Structure formats: structure tokens, C-alpha cells
Amino acid sequence: MDEVKQMEKHTTIIYPQWQGGGADLSTYYGAEEIERLYLENVVYDKVPVAVLDAEMKESNNILGYDDILAQMKDAALIIGQACPHTLFTIGGGCDAGVPAVAYLNKKYAGKLTVLWFDAHGDLNTPEESSSKLFYGMPLRALSGDGDDEIKKLIPVRLTPSQVILLGARDLDAAEKNYIVENNITSFSVEEMECDPNVILHAVDTAGNDNIYLHIDLDVLDPADFPYTPVPTANGLRAQTFLNILQLLKENYRIVGTGLFSYAPAKAKVGLLTSIIDMGLRLNFDADDIPNIP
């Protein structure tokens, strides 16, 4: 089995999409810093994004829509041509994860459970969103709601039973209603701090062999990790988060990881090193994830 895993094709892509957060360019510069500081001697693909001084026009109720759609098409093409078994995406904003999840959900014929580590729900439709920022919409888009052209890039939509929300604590009213109406599994920071094994039980209940980890760094408590554009109080402690990643790696086949919403720290950060090392080694039996240096 180990030899088979190592023969499987892995792809890492850098996708520094910034338009989903409006005029905030920190996620672009965060992705650039990861590329510079963490990916020496790593083979990866990179999705080109529009210039930083591009005018942010609203179309179809989404700010920066034309650039976002074009970049998503480019990302989908790059991933499709690589045709990997495992995929590590480095954003950019959390909306940069849409092409990767869409690809993996199709590849594994809907037998994919998505663990959405995020302080926010990302469950708005363009019509529901007051900000019109796409970084508040990606999970809803993956579920088959929203803009028609974006939906064309999602051939197999996520069902509510495939999604587990982890650490969401800043939700709009429409998102709260959607979660309740669709019976989406959700665990608070307090529940995960008390017993991380609740996540394992939920994954077992979902019953899929393949796991995708969406990691928006604002799921973490700003006291432990402030390097994110929207730090949100009362988040998951960094060591608890690393312990959860270790549990998931030991118990499941992780076929995809996405790392998003990083604002530059201007130096290497131990926690980020651990996450990136895990993402780069999805198709190997990696060493244990270390404690924070």
C-alpha cells in the first residue's frame, strides 16, 4: 500500500487570488511570501492573477467577478491537465479553494468529505451578500447555488452531508438559516477544544473514504496566529489545531488540503511550516506533525 501511495500523482498549486476580499491585497502578498519562504526546491504550478491595481468592477452581484471567473477557469484547467490524485492549494483568499474541491469531488465521484476550518460560513449567495465579496460565497457555490457561470465549473456539487463546519463563529443570519435548514454538521471551537475526537465521529458518520481539509487561518485564535486579514476572536488554539490535523492524518486518507487567508508575517512561522509540510506530503506517509517550535 505504501508503494502505491507514493506512486500516486500529487500537485501543488499557488493561487494568489485576492479579488474575493475586495481591495485588501494581503492574501496576495501572503501567498507570495509562502512561495518565497516555504517552497524552496518544491515543484508547483501557479495560477496567474490579474494585476493588483485592476479596477474592481461589480458584475452578477460579485465584486471583481470578471477576474475571479477567468482565474477560476485557469485554475480548473491547470488542475485538470495535471490530473492529480492528491492536491494542495495555497491561496490567496479562501475562495481560491473552489476549483480544487470541484475537481476532487468529481474525481472521487462525490465520495469526499469536506472539513471546512473557518471562522466564517462562506455560505452566502451573491444575492444574499451585502458586501458582494466572493470570499463569503465559496462553500455555497460548491453546494450548487449562486452564479450560473461559476456553477459550470462545479460539475458535481457538494451535498450537505459531505460538509462539516469547524470553528465557524462569525455567521450572517442567512448562513445560520442555511446551516439549520440543511442540517449541516457543525462544531464550535469549544466543542473541539473539549474533545477533538468529535470530528472523527462526524467523519465516520459521513462515511466517505476521502477527506479534503479547507484551512482558513482565521479559524485560529488571534493570540496564537494573528497573520490573517480578518482575525476573529475566540478561535481554535494552535496546538489543538495541530493535534486535530495529526488525528485526521492518522485515521483517514486526505486527498486535498487548501491553505488560505494568510497575511504576511515577514518571517517563517512554525505552525505554518507544519501545515505546509503536511500539504506537500499528502501522497506519502509523512512524519508526525510536530508541536509548534
Give CB contacts under 8 A, 24+ apart, made by 145-152.
147/60, 147/61, 147/62, 147/65, 147/69, 149/60, 149/69, 150/69, 150/72, 150/98
User: What is the average pLDDT across 189-203?
Assistant: 97
- pLDDT in the model for residue 55: 75
pLDDT over 60 at 60, yes or no: yes
pLDDT over 80 at 124, yes or no: yes
Confidence label for 283 from pLDDT (cuts 50, 70 and 90): confident
Confidence label for 292 from pLDDT (cuts 50, 70 and 90): very low
Instruction: Give the C-alpha separation, 79 to 134, whole Å.
Output: 21
Q: Rounded mean pLDDT of the chain?
A: 93
User: What is the average pLDDT across 235-254?
Assistant: 96
Confidence label for 22 from pLDDT (cuts 50, 70 and 90): very high
User: What is the average pLDDT across 125-143?
Assistant: 96
- On the CB side of 14, CA atoms within 13 Å amount to 22
- pLDDT in the model for residue 114: 98
Contact 185, 195 (CB under 8 A): no
> Which class is 2-280 in CATH?
alpha beta
pLDDT over 80 at 5, yes or no: no
7 SS3 class: helix
